[in-house]
C-alpha cells in the first residue's frame, strides 16, 4: 500500500488556514483584554475628574459663604460684575470646561431631581435617575456604568454625590429659588456630579482586521512597535496633561481669589494639624487674628472695586511681613489669620506689630485721592489645655479687646 502525501500547495493552504484560525483566536483574546484595560483606565480618569471637581466645588462653596457674610452678591454670569462672585455651580461649570475643552467627547454635568428654577425644564435620563436613587437611598459613594457612545464607541459615566454642607444650606433652603424642598440638612445628597469619558480604542479594530494585522505581524514583528507606540505615547501625554490640570485646580480651590492667601477651609485644616503637632511635642505655636478697621466705610465711600483692592493689598502686606513656614489665610470678609509654628511670645508680638505698622504706612488709591487704613490684631500662644477651638476663641477675644482700645492696636496675651 502506497502512502499519498498532500502536495506542497495543499500544505501551504492548510498552514495558512491554521495560522489565520490561531491568529483570530489570539487577537480576539488580546482585543478583549485590551478593551478591559482601556475601560479600567478610563474609569480611573473619570474618578479623578469627579473627585477633583467635587473637592473644588466644596471648597469654593466655603469661599462663597464667606463672601455672602461680607455682603458680596453671587451671579450665574460668566464674567461677574465688580463686587460679585460666581455661584458654586457656575464656578464648577467654568472650571470643568477647562478640561472638557481640551478632551473631545468628555462631558460634565451637575443635576438634581429638585433643580433650581432656571433649570426646571431639565429632563433626567435613565442613568441620571438611577444614579440619584443609588447615591441617595443606598448612601453609596459612587455609581458608574459603561454605556454606548457615539457610533460604536463606548463611554464611562461616573457619578458621585453632591452632599449638603453648612455653606450650602442658606441658599438651597431659600424659598426664592422655587425648590420643592426647604428642609435640607447637613450630609444629605442634594444632587449629583457626573462625568462622561469616552473609551478610546486606539489601534483596536474589528476581528477580521485584527486577523489580517496578526498575519502581517508574523511577517514583520516591527509593525507592532509602530502600532502600539502611538497609543501608549498618547495615553502618557493625556495622563500628564490631566495630572497638571488636577494640581492647578487643587491649588486654585485652596486659595482666596482676592488676597492670594489660603482660604478658611485650608486655614482650619492647618490650624488643627499645627495644634496637634505642638501639643504632642516641645514646639510652641502662635496665632494672630487681624481685622481691617472700618472696612465697611471703605466700600461705602470708594466702592467695592477699591474695597477689593484693599483686600488684595492687605494680603500682600501680610505675606511680606511673616516668616517662611507661617500660614496666612483670609478667614472672612475683612478678617485674616496667621498661624506661626515654632515661635516665641516675643517674636509673635513683633510679627503682629510689624504687620500693623506696615498696614498703617500703606497708601491706597481711589479715583481722585488716596487714603490709608489701619488694622487691629489679637495674638496668643497655644496653652497645654487648649484645643483648636479654645485657641482660636482666645485670639478672637483679644482682637475684640484691641478694637475696644480704639483700633489700630495689637493686643497680645500675657
> Within 13 Å, how many C-alpha atoms sit on residue 15's CB side?
7
Instruction: Give the chain's domains with CATH numbers.
Output: 19-253 (no CATH), 264-412 (3.30.70.270)
Which range is most confident: 43-57, 108-122, 181-195?
181-195
Q: Label residue 205 by pLDDT band (50, 70, 90).
A: very low
Q: Label residue 305 by pLDDT band (50, 70, 90).
A: very high
Pairing of strands 375-381, 410-412: parallel
Pairing of strands 73-75, 84-86: parallel
Residue 339: is its pLDDT beyond 70?
yes
Pairing of strands 410-412, 73-75: unpaired
Is residue 33 packed enough to be buried (19+ CB in 10 Å), middle (13-18) or exposed (0-12)? exposed
DSSP assignment letter at 262: B
Q: What is the pLDDT of residue 4?
A: 57
Q: What is the pLDDT of residue 226?
A: 46
Place of cell 479687646: 401
Segment 228-247 shows an average pLDDT of: 48
- Joined together, the cell numbers standing for residue 388 give 483648636
Q: Which helix (H) or strand (E) holds 365?
A: strand 363-365
Q: Lowest-confidence range among 337-341, 354-358, 368-372? A: 368-372
Report the SS3 class of residue 180.
coil
Higher pLDDT, 239 or 227: 239
Q: What is the pLDDT of residue 330?
A: 93
Give backbone dihedrals phi and psi of 380, rounded to 5 degrees, phi first.
-155, 160
* Number of other residues whose CB lies within 10 A of the CB of residue 52: 21
Q: What is the pLDDT of residue 253?
A: 57
* Number of other residues whose CB lies within 10 A of the CB of residue 261: 23
What's the sign of the alpha-carbon dihedral 108, 110, 116, 121? positive
End-to-end CA distance of the chain: 118
pTM (2 d.p.):
0.43
The answer to whether the beta carbons of residues 399 and 291 sit under 8 Å apart is yes
Segment 324-331 shows an average pLDDT of: 92
Rounded to the nearest integer, the mean pLDDT of the chain is 76
Higher pLDDT, 105 or 221: 105
**Alpha carbon 172 to chain centroid, angstroms:** 21
**Alpha carbon 164 to chain centroid, angstroms:** 16
Q: Label residue 166 by pLDDT band (50, 70, 90).
A: confident
Amino acid at each position: 500500500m502506497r502512502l499519498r502525501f498532500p502536495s506542497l500547495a495543499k500544505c501551504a493552504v492548510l498552514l495558512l488556514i491554521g495560522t489565520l484560525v490561531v491568529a483570530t483566536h489570539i487577537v480576539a483574546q488580546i482585543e478583549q483584554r485590551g478593551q478591559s484595560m482601556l475601560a479600567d483606565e478610563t474609569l480611573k480618569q473619570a474618578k479623578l475628574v469627579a473627585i477633583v471637581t467635587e473637592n473644588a466645588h466644596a471648597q469654593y462653596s466655603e469661599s462663597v459663604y464667606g463672601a455672602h457674610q461680607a455682603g458680596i452678591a453671587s451671579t450665574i454670569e460668566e464674567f461677574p460684575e465688580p463686587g460679585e462672585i460666581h455661584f458654586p455651580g457656575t464656578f464648577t461649570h467654568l472650571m470643568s470646561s477647562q478640561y472638557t475643552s481640551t478632551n473631545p467627547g468628555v462631558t460634565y454635568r451637575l443635576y438634581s431631581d429638585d433643580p433650581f428654577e432656571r433649570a426646571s425644564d431639565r429632563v433626567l435620563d435613565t442613568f441620571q435617575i438611577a444614579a440619584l436613587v443609588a447615591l441617595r437611598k443606598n448612601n453609596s459613594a459612587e455609581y458608574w456604568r459603561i454605556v454606548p457612545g457615539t457610533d460604536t464607541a463606548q463611554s464611562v459615566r461616573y457619578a458621585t454625590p453632591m452632599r449638603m454642607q453648612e455653606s450650602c444650606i442658606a441658599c438651597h433652603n431659600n424659598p426664592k429659588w422655587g425648590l420643592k424642598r426647604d428642609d435640607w440638612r447637613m450630609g444629605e445628597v442634594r444632587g449629583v456630579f457626573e462625568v462622561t469619558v469616552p473609551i478610546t480604542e486606539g489601534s483596536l479594530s474589528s476581528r477580521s482586521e485584527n486577523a489580517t494585522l496578526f498575519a502581517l505581524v508574523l511577517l514583520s514583528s516591527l509593525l507592532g512597535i509602530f502600532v502600539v507606540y502611538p497609543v501608549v505615547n498618547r495615553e502618557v501625554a493625556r495622563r500628564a496633561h490631566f495630572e497638571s490640570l488636577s494640581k492647578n485646580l487643587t491649588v486654585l480651590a485652596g486659595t482666596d481669589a482676592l488676597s492670594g492667601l489660603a482660604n478658611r477651609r485650608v486655614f482650619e485644616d492647618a490650624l488643627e494639624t499645627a495644634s496637634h503637632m505642638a501639643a504632642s511635642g516641645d514646639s510652641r505655636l502662635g496665632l494672630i487674628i487681624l481685622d481691617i478697621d472700618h472696612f465697611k466705610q471703605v466700600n461705602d465711600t470708594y466702592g467695592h472695586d477699591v474695597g477689593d483692592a484693599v483686600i488684595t493689598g492687605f494680603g500682600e502686606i501680610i505675606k511680606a511681613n511673616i516668616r517662611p513656614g507661617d500660614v496666612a489665610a483670609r478667614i472672612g470678609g475683612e478678617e485674616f489669620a496667621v498661624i506661626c509654628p515654632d515661635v516665641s511670645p516675643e517674636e509673635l508680638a513683633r510679627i503682629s506689630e510689624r504687620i500693623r505698622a506696615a498696614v498703617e504706612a500703606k497708601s491706597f488709591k481711589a479715583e481722585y485721592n488716596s487714603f490709608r487704613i489701619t488694622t487691629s490684631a489679637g495674638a496668643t500662644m497655644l496653652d497645654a489645655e487648649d484645643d483648636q477651638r479654645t485657641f482660636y476663641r482666645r485670639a478672637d477675644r483679644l482682637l475684640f479687646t484691641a478694637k475696644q482700645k480704639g483700633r489700630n492696636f495689637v493686643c497680645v496675651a500675657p
